[in-house]
């Protein structure tokens, strides 16, 4: 507890003392109640650091409503049951807005507690559309592109840009994200290429399965009639893709932002023909120079690369909220909410973002598709979903 | 026919690691009566040791991992289990849970929770095709290791002096002590043997998956424990068979379940385990000593 307080005090002090002389009023506090350590640590720590960089930028321009921004952090240790306590801790320290975890299940308890205190809550990258009006409440927003829309975009990209006509679908059944990703893909793919354009489907459990020998035996003969494999996976990617490539399956594989990051690629020596849709490139080769500058600053400030592109969603959460506060001209929650709901392709670091009063997750923002060539990622370009399905609740 | 043979090979490939894990858990249970939930974490420590020593020639890496795991297993016995050796089995189990969490979160602290990857023994993960039947090199090793280690352990327990003492401790610890068996020495030997089994699992796991997280032991332990129960608690051959049976059930259900039910595959696997235990409560191979305990 002492440590947590010391970290909170340290971060607050560091940010407030870095302010220009113009902003000397009481700071507006932004709270972070997410898993700085534990399972979700890499995503949530990157998001929180992204938020810190956004706060620095806003403060460098004179702050928000003439006041500096500061940040307080409470670690949920990636334990959802600690979420309400963590949220209460940052709210007690005056948080006007709270940033929560990068996953619906992990974020929901802290988000509920924030909404109950009548404050706006942002998830950095929960991709489940339930993170919003329907699942948490009207004050909840997420900076993710909806999981189904990610599937839609990958189907459109594979069909239109790559000219592929036959897909083999592999789905991890361990979490909801991968199921809705595949659902979005399947729907759009069969609309575009026809019901016969799925050459085969199989599943595995990313948490439980150490070997996918059976799936590989079924997949291998189907590769002759498959242009690519749609890979709805989120974890254990190194393990399963190592087994796939070791079995001599060289068919192109397409994955989503949940497979972003270079941390798993050592398991698959010379990874080739792997395509992944990410929020931002962490390798300094993003077509958007603003992203490259962000990644360079991240490395300079924190002494390490951002582990995955999700870091920009933390930046964007603060950016979006601050933009809405400016539009509202006050810290009145209802006015900020109305301003956020009016976002229509609002230019943010994460990309043009749109919210609606009934939908607090974006459906049409582009993602960057990258290709692995000998284990190194090269950007291909940003692609937006053209016809995403409306989420169903 | 080819499909059937391929299916059996795949099932055995899935079950190989489970079988090896189950033998390690079963060995400690058989000798000490301890359900060691930290066993999978020993495997995890072995995996991270491989990660840290990957620059060495591979036999050196394996040797270092074995030494580290033997020390960890002995330390676990000395620090965590020996002080509560006379306590109830429930207490021992809770201690093993506590040890498991301590190890896991120490590793999260040191290495973070993100998966770490390493290309260890890549030649082993290459697939072989024999008469149209595909099998990964590492799967062959898992099967061979399971057979060889089960046999070696059985021989060790049956024919060596310390093995003889292990059987005595397993059947009646009080009487064994009365006739002069040094229980601490026997239990330490069992922990060393289980550490050697754990390092085998670590090597084969890392060669197969190339991936590790501090939580990798959790699932291995649960499935390994289920395998020991359906195999027959305390019987090494039963444990190995149990591991292969879980692999067989998993592969069969993955193939047979309709798409809508595949997300619930584990419910069917463990449902089948419950059913099997109802029909054969003592497990596949029921030992006389186990029957007496029941």
Beta strand ranges found along chain B (DSSP E): 116-117, 127-130, 133-136, 211-212
User: By CA distance, what is A200's nearest residue in B?
Assistant: B259
Distance between CA atoms of residues A34 and A130, nearest Å = 18
Which residue ranges form the domains of chain A, and what is each CATH number?
Answer: 2-145+288-353 (3.40.50.2300), 147-278+367-383 (3.40.50.2300)
Cβ-nearest to A247 among B127, B247, B262: B127
pLDDT for B294: 33
Nearby residues of A185 by Cβ (< 8 Å), 6 or more positions away: A151, A152, A154, A155, A167, A169, A230, A232
Q: Check whether A78 has a pLDDT greater than 50.
A: yes
| Bridge partners, residue B134, by sequence | B129
Give the residue from B8, B44, B113 with the most A CB atoms within 10 Å of its CB, the best one to mutate.
B113
pLDDT for A127: 95
Over residues A110-118, mean pLDDT: 97
Over residues B87-116, mean pLDDT: 90
pLDDT for A22: 44
Core vs surface per residue A234-265: b (16+ CB within 10 A) or e? bbbbbbbbbbbbbbebebbbbbbbbbbbbbbb
pLDDT for A1: 44
DSSP A42-60: HHHHHHHHHHHHHHHHHHH
Distance between CA atoms of residues B21 and B221, nearest Å = 7
> How many residues are recorded in chain A?
393
Complex confidence, ipTM = 0.82
pLDDT for B32: 80
Beta strand ranges found along A84-214 (DSSP E): 95-100, 120-123, 140-142, 167-172, 198-204
* Model pLDDT for residues B7-22, shown as the tens digit of each residue: 888 898 889 889 999 9
* Model pLDDT for residues A4-56, shown as the tens digit of each residue: 455 544 455 454 445 444 445 799 999 999 999 888 888 999 999 999 999 99
* Model pLDDT for residues B243-264, shown as the tens digit of each residue: 999 999 999 998 888 888 888 8
Where helices occur in B112-182 by DSSP H, the ranges are 122-125, 137-159, 161-171, 173-178
Chain B closest CA to A42's CA: distance in Å? 6
Give the residue from A234, A267, A268, A307 with the most B CB atoms within 10 Å of its CB, the best one to mutate.
A267
Q: Check whether A351 has a pLDDT greater than 90.
A: yes
pLDDT for A24: 59
The predicted model scores a pTM of 0.86
- Please tell me if residue B76 touches chain A, with a CB cutoff of 8 Å: no
pLDDT for A48: 97
* Model pLDDT for residues B89-98, shown as the tens digit of each residue: 889 889 999 9
Over residues B116-138, mean pLDDT: 86
CA angle, B180 as apex, B179 and B186 as ends, to 5°? 115
Nearby residues of B55 by Cβ (< 8 Å), 6 or more positions away: none
pLDDT for B293: 39
Chain A closest CA to B20's CA: distance in Å? 13
Which has the closest alpha carbon to A265: B142, B62, B56, B114? Answer: B114
Q: Among A225-234, A331-340, B121-130, which stretch is predicted with the lowest mean pLDDT? A: B121-130
Task: For strands A120-123 and A69-75, give the pairing.
Answer: unpaired
Q: What's chain B's average pLDDT?
A: 88
Higher-pLDDT residue of B87 and B99 is B99
**CA torsion through residues B89, B95, B101, B106, sign:** negative
Q: Would you place residue B71 in the very low, low, confident or very high pLDDT band (cuts 50, 70, 90)?
A: very high
Over residues A150-175, mean pLDDT: 96
Angle between helices A333-341 and A311-328 (to 10 degrees): 110
Q: Would you place residue A171 in the very low, low, confident or very high pLDDT band (cuts 50, 70, 90)?
A: very high
Higher-pLDDT residue of B124 and A140 is A140
Q: How many CB atoms lie within 10 A of CB A194?
A: 11
In chain B, count H helices and then E strands: 13, 4
């Amino acid at each position: 507890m002492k440590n947590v307080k010391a970290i909170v005090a340290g971060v607050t002090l560091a940010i407030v003392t870095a302010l220009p002389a113009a902003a000397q009023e009481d700071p507006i506090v932004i709270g972070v109640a997410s898993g700085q350590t534990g399972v979700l640590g890499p995503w949530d720590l990157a998001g929180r650091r992204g938020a810190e960089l956004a706060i620095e930028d806003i403060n460098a321009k004179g702050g928000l409503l003439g006041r500096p921004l500061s940040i307080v952090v409470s670690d949920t240790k990636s334990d959802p049951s600690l979420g309400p306590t963590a949220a209460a801790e940052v709210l007690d320290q005056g948080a006007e807005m709270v940033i929560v975890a990068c996953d619906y299940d992990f974020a929901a308890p802290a988000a509920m507690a924030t909404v109950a205190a009548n404050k706006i809550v942002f998830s950095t990258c929960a991709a489940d559309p339930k993170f919003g009006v329907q699942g948490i409440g009207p004050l909840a927003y997420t900076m993710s592109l909806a999981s189904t829309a990610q599937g839609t975009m990958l189907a459109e990209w594979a069909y239109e840009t790559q000219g592929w006509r036959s897909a083999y679908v592999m789905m991890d059944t361990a979490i909801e994200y991968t199921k809705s990703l595949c659902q979005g893909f399947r729907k759009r793919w069969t609309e575009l290429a026809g019901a016969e354009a799925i050459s085969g489907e199989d599943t595995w459990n990313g948490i439980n399965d150490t070997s996918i020998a059976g799936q590989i035996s079924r997949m291998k003969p189907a590769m002759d009639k498959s242009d690519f494999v749609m890979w709805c996976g989120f974890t254990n990617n190194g393990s399963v893709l190592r087994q796939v490539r070791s079995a001599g399956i060289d068919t192109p594989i397409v994955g989503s932002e949940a497979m972003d990051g270079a941390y798993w690629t050592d398991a698959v020596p010379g990874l080739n023909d792997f395509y992944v849709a990410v929020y931002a490139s962490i390798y300094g080769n993003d077509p958007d120079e603003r992203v490259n500058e962000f990644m360079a600053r991240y490395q300079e400030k924190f002494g390490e690369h951002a582990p995955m592109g999700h870091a920009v969603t933390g930046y964007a959460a603060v950016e979006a909220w601050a933009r809405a506060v400016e539009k509202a001209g006050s810290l009145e929650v209802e006015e900020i909410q109305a301003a956020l709901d009016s976002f229509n392709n609002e230019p943010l670091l994460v990309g043009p973002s749109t919210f609606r009063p009934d939908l607090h997750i974006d459906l049409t923002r582009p993602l960057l598709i990258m290709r692995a060539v000998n284990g190194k990622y090269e950007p291909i370009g940003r692609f937006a979903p053209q016809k995403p399905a409306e989420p169903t609740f | 026919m080819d499909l059937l043979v391929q299916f059996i090979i795949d099932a055995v490939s899935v079950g190989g690691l489970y079988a090896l894990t189950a033998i390690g858990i079963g060995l400690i249970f058989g000798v000490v009566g301890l359900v060691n939930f930290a066993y999978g974490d020993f495997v995890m420590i072995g995996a991270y040791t491989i990660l840290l020593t990957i620059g060495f020639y591979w036999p050196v890496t394996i040797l270092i991992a074995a030494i580290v795991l033997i020390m960890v297993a002995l330390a676990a016995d000395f620090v965590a289990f020996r002080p509560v050796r006379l306590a109830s089995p429930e207490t021992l189990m809770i201690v093993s849970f506590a040890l498991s969490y301590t190890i896991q979160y120490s590793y999260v602290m040191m290495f973070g929770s993100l998966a770490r990857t390493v290309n260890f023994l890549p030649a082993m993960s290459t697939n072989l095709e024999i008469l149209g039947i595909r099998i990964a090199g590492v799967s062959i090793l898992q099967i061979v290791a399971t057979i060889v280690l089960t046999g070696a352990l059985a021989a060790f327990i049956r024919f060596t002096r310390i093995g003889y003492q292990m059987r005595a401790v397993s059947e009646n610890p009080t009487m064994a002590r009365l006739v002069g068996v040094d229980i601490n020495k026997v239990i330490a030997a069992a922990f060393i043997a289980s550490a050697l089994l754990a390092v085998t699992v670590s090597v084969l796991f890392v060669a197969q998956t190339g991936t590790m997280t501090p939580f990798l032991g959790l699932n291995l332990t649960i499935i390994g424990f289920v395998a020991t129960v359906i195999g027959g608690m305390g019987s090494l051959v039963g444990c190995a068979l149990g591991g292969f049976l879980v692999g067989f059930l998993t592969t069969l259900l993955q193939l047979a379940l309709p798409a809508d039910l595949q997300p619930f595959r584990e419910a069917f696997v463990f449902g089948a385990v419950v059913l099997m235990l109802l029909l054969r409560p003592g497990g596949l191979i029921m030992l006389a000593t186990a029957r007496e305990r029941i």
